[in-house]
Amino acid sequence: MTATDPWADLLAADRALLDRTSTAERVADVLRQRIIDGALAPGTRLSEESAGKALAVSRNTLREAFRLLVHERLLVHEFHRGVFVRVLSAEDVIDLYRIRRLLETSAVRRGENPDLVSAVDSTVSDGERAAAEERWWDVGTANMRFHEALAALAGSPRVNDTMRQLLAELRLAFHVMSRPEEFHKPYLGFNREIADLLTAGDREAAAEKLDAYFDAAETQLVAAYRTYQD
């Protein structure tokens, strides 16, 4: 197990692929996906019996999966009443934007890794292509990945995790709106400008434009959210 085997590191990197996940984690994966894509609407109650029967897992395993998603804030757990798909309040949406602004602008100001910058750029291209072909759901996804890529400029695994989680949580907000498909479209231009500034190396200008984006997007989403919530 000494450093005499240079290929050992290569295989070690692949270990995660082999190491298999538990049933509970896979159950959490599918539930997470269904929540994110809106099949499980906010407020939906997930009974242990129905969910367990549907996924063909035992109650115990299911409860482990529930715990994970509660911790990720995608589900809420009410004692002796069951678990529900989270319903975000307007304050939640505001808070999500607050922390996103913090993370993303800081990451943009400090991140200079060329690979990560070009990764940002390609997410914008994806969004533009999806918009041209009117695949609105994909536009939204590309927009999410754009911001994920911005946060990734920080070069921190924990920031990446946090960001992924925040964006998943934010998806809950879009599902209560009337036309979530077209919500992201107006921001494609913003994204392009920010990506170009980053590619040009002007991180400060990119960060300021991002800040302006947050001003616009947050007020719009909160307004739309308050409207369609009642």
Nearer to DNA, 81 or 158 (CB): 81
Contact with DNA (CB under 7 A) among 30, 37, 41, 47: 47
Name residue, tokens 């999410």. 144
Alpha carbon distances (Å) from 170 to 60, 132, 135, 141, 149: 29, 25, 20, 12, 16
The answer to whether residue 63 forms part of the interface with DNA (CB under 7 A) is yes
Considering the complex, what minimum distance in angstroms separates the CB of residue 55 from a copy of itself?
Answer: 17
Site for a copy of itself in 156-185 (CB under 8 A): 156-159, 162, 166
Contact with DNA (CB under 7 A) among 33, 58, 220, 227: 58
Nearer to DNA, 61 or 229 (CB): 61
Q: In angstroms, rounded to a whole number, what is the distance separating the alpha carbons of residues 178 and 184?
A: 13
The answer to whether residue 22 forms part of the interface with DNA (CB under 7 A) is yes
φ and ψ at residue 53, rounded to 5 degrees: -65, -45
Nearer to DNA, 83 or 188 (CB): 83
Quote the distance between the C-alpha of residue 27 and its chain's center: 19
Side-chain-side CA neighbours of 211 within 13 Å: the count stands at: 12
Helix (H, G, I), strand (E, B) or coil at 46: strand
Q: Say if residues 110 and 196 touch (Cβ distance below 8 Å).
A: no
The answer to whether residue 103 forms part of the interface with a copy of itself (CB under 8 A) is yes
Quote the distance between the C-alpha of residue 177 and its chain's center: 17
Nearer to DNA, 83 or 124 (CB): 83
The answer to whether residue 60 forms part of the interface with a copy of itself (CB under 8 A) is yes
The answer to whether residue 23 forms part of the interface with DNA (CB under 7 A) is yes
Q: Say if residues 76 and 38 touch (Cβ distance below 8 Å).
A: no
Contact with DNA (CB under 7 A) among 3, 13, 17, 56: 56
Q: Say if residues 183 and 176 touch (Cβ distance below 8 Å).
A: no
Residues that bind DNA (CB under 7 A): 22-24, 45-49, 56-61, 63, 77, 79-83
Residues that bind a copy of itself (CB under 8 A): 19-22, 24, 60, 63-64, 67-68, 71-72, 79, 95-96, 98-99, 102-103, 105-107, 110, 154-159, 162, 166
